[in-house]
Structures are given as C-alpha cells and as structure tokens.
Structure 1
Amino acid sequence: MLGACAGSNQTALTPEGINDPYEAQNRKVHAFNRGLDRSIVRPAALGYTKVLPDEIEETIGNFATNLGQPSVMVNSLLQGDLRGFGQSTLRFTINSTFGLLGFFDPATEFKMADHNTDFGETLFVWGAEEGVYLELPFLGPATTRSATGRFVDLFTNPLTYVLESPEEYYGTAASVASGLGARGRFSETVDSILYESADSYAQARLIYLQNRRFTLGDTESTTDIDPFELDTEGF
C-alpha cells in the first residue's frame, strides 16, 4: 500500500526530469519555509555554532547519528542488504560501548565503513516510483516517495519502543541540535541558495532532486542540468 502511495499522482516529466504538478502550492510553502529560516532557524543556527565549540557540536552530532543506527539496520534488512546491516550493527555496537553511548566515534577511527539509509530508499529498492515533487512545511524539499519514507521512519527505530520518557526524546533533541549545527556551518551555501539565487525555489528543487537521485542511484530520473544556470533566470 505504501509503495502504491509513493507512486501515485505520477504525471509526465518535464524535459528536465522534474515532476512538479503542485508548483503553485509548493512555492507558497517554500515562501513560508524561507521566512521561517530567516526569522528563526538561521539566527538560532548561527548562535548555536558561535556559542558551542566545534568539539561539542561534533559530539552531539555523533550521538544523534548513533541513535539513528537501529533504524538504518531495519531498513537495510528490508532492502535485503545484509552487508549494510552488518556495517551499521557493528558501528552501533562499537560506538555505543567504546564510544560512550555514541558521543564519540571510534568506529570511524577503526576505519569501519559508514552506512546510511532510510525507508524512502527502501521504497526505491522495492520498485516504488519517485512520485511528484513536494515542499513540506518545516521539513523542506521531498518527493512523494521520500515523504512517505520520512513518515514511516518515525516507527522504524526499535529504540523508540525500548526507551522510556524522557530518554526516548534524547535522539530527537540531538537530531534537532545537529541540524542547527549543520545549518550554521553551511550558512554561506544555504544563504546563497535561499537568498541570493534568482529563483530559490527552483534552485532548491533541482539541487535536492539531483542529490537524492544520485544517492539512490536512480539513473532513470537523473537530469544533467546545471542548477547554477538558474541564477540567470527570473522568478
């Protein structure tokens, strides 16, 4: 059923390989997200990175990543990726023990390969189509398939069923903090897309789709357009 939902509303792609039948609504959501970033997220992120030392930011990021590994394990199994399952399991075990619950990352120091995946990729492996492009409030760019995956991933981490309150919220808090840190570190790049490009919506859309398709190896939907060509276009 989820695969069918992810493949619904499929229409003919544009020559650029972009399926965006809801562009008018998406642009309104994009304007909302950009205003939210300008007034709240960006100032908070810059303050966060200014106050916290890089070492503390890295520690919080490690903790968030480690708590997300059980979800990676589940999705790896659903994809039939036993190698990925083994990699994520080993990293989680090493970092949760020698890394003090994941605050440190000895697995990387031991040259253990990193592995990351989500239910959106699981749907891709199962053959679900990309669906239409969406911009979600607060969450930003997505597709029907990836949005479905984000929702399902709320339930794929076994730790959420094991930990009690308030421990069950530690991962969410760490992920939010890690996201603020990333927004602060890459502020110049994000600002150039959101506030300096001629059409920030089209720029963000193309960059997201290219990056996501490359990550999944989705060659059938790939477009070779240079996103920075959009800087010369009007709204």
Structure 2
Amino acid sequence: MRKATLWSGRLAVLSTVLLLSACARPEAPGTIRDPYESRNRQIHEANKSLDRGVFRPVSTAYGKSVPRPVRTGVSNFASNLSLPGAMINSLLQFRPGDAVQNGTRFLINTTVGLGGIFDPATRMGATKVDTDFGETLYVWGMREGAYVEFPVLGPMTERAMVGRAVDFAMNPLRPLANSEERNVMTGTGVLRGADARYENSDLVDSVLYESADSYAQSRQIYLDSRRHKLSRNQETDYFDPYEDPYEDPNAQ
C-alpha cells in the first residue's frame, strides 16, 4: 500500500510537469533572466561562507586522507546508482539508444564491477550518458525560466529546479531500498560531491574567491555549462572551463 501511494504521488508530480511543459514557449538563447538577483546574491554570499567554513575544508580533508582509488570507487558506486533514473529520462526524451547504453553500463558495473565500485563498462565501450529530468523538460520544450541560487545546492534555473525535484521523487531505486540502504545512497552521493570539490578545488576557488564578481561569474559559468550540456555539444565555439562544481550528485 505504501509503495502504491508513493508511485501514485510520483505520477501526479509527473502529470503536473507534463502540463507545464505543454504550455511552455521557447525562449531566446543566450539570455539571462535574473529577476531575483538581489536575493540570489545574498544566498551566494552565504554559500561562499558555507564553502569556506565547511565544504572546502571537509573536501580537502577527504581528498588528502582517503586514497584516490578508494575515492574513485565511492564515486563510481554513487554514479552507478544514478543510471536507472538516467535510463528513464532517456526513454522520456525518446532516446532509446541512450537508455540501452546506460542499461548495459548498469548491468556490467553492478555485476562485474561489484556493485559499481569498479568501472569495467567504460573499458568495454559502455560510457555513461549523463542526463536528468531537467534535460527531459528541455526536450519537451519547457522554458529555462529564471536563474536561481539555492542555499547549499547552488546555481540552478527554474527548469533545472523542477527537474531535480522530479528526479528525486521518481528515483526507481529508492522505493526498493530500506532506510539503511537509502542512507548509504545519500552518504556515497555526498562523498562523491566532496571528491568533485577536491579535484576541482583550484578552479572553484578561483571563481569563488579570486574573481572580481564571483556571483556574476558563477552564474555565467553555470548557464553556459548547462546550456552546452543540453545542446549535446552542438555549439562548437563554447569552452567549458570545468565541470559544474555545484552539481547535485544525487540528481543524475
């Protein structure tokens, strides 16, 4: 009964999103809609303080104290858990080939790769097709919406925000996991984020602490990176300086 209620709630969320996307109109590329800039800047400063006081020192301690092979195994495990959700999104985007590729990767890494700790699938040619429900909404024609910076989560667009919420609600593995398993899923996701912060520390620090206007630069980098990803690399004149440091490890 509990699982049936969960799935009915998720279907209601999906139906609402479908209605919103059906009413959406495309918007001009290259624009920046930031009607909440004043509030966003306040949150950005709070996020910088949180990064300076918590995220950066924790990620540094994790990166320096845990050997890279162990960190890679944890990140691989967390990434593997995101594949079923990516498969669903690929199907919703009418990209069955991507769904098959991610499904093949999940099968190989879950079995041969010992639950995803190791990544033999990449060596076998089954690389990950990284996608999320935000991209599904993009494919369906939903507008990007305004730029918003959230506490802890960092930069997003309104479309990405809806996509992240749906990804969490529709994660097919969560209803099958008990409370301890869900804690493991969350914990490994957090560690994956800490590892990403550590590996990109120089680039992230240069944006947050060395730029003249870290808010404007973070906003531009996020929007350029996100739009480039959604375009599936069709924009040949774009250079992505680094992977999005604010990317939610559990949203993939």
Bin of the TM-score, shorter chain as denominator length: 0.7 to 0.9
With over 3 angstroms needed to count, the CA separation of the structure-2 counterparts of 1:56 and 1:77, relative to structure 1, is same
Aligned match of 1:69: 83
Deviations 1:109-134 (A, max 9, x none): 11223211100001001110000000
1:2 CA drift (Å): 2.2
**Is 2:13 aligned against 1:2?**
no
Matches of 1:129 and 1:24 in 2, distance apart?
Answer: 22
With over 3 angstroms needed to count, the CA separation of the structure-2 counterparts of 1:34 and 1:4, relative to structure 1, is farther
Matches of 1:204 and 1:8 in 2, distance apart?
Answer: 30
Give SS of 1:153's match.
helix
Aligned match of 1:97: 111
Aligned match of 2:101: 87
Kindly report structure 1 stretches of 4+ aligned residues shifted beyond 2 Å: 1-10, 224-228
Unpaired segments of 5 or more residues in structure 2?
Answer: 1-15, 242-252
Aligned match of 2:167: 153
Give the CA RMSD over aligned residues.
Answer: 2.5
Aligned match of 1:177: 191
With over 3 angstroms needed to count, the CA separation of the structure-2 counterparts of 1:226 and 1:196, relative to structure 1, is farther
**Is 2:60 aligned against 1:57?**
no
Matches of 2:238 and 2:92 in 1, distance apart?
Answer: 33
Aligned match of 1:126: 140
1:1-235 mapped onto 2 (5 Å cutoff)? 1-2=16-17, 17-217=31-231
Matches of 2:112 and 2:44 in 1, distance apart?
Answer: 42
With over 3 angstroms needed to count, the CA separation of the structure-2 counterparts of 1:35 and 1:21, relative to structure 1, is same
TM-score (norm 1): 0.88
Unpaired segments of 5 or more residues in structure 1?
Answer: 229-235
1:9 CA drift (Å): 11
Deviations 1:140-174 (A, max 9, x none): 00000000001111122211011112012212111
TM-score (norm 2): 0.82
Q: Percent identity?
A: 45
Matches of 1:27 and 1:225 in 2, distance apart?
Answer: 26
Matches of 1:172 and 1:16 in 2, distance apart?
Answer: 35
1:177 CA drift (Å): 0.1
- Count of matched residue pairs: 223
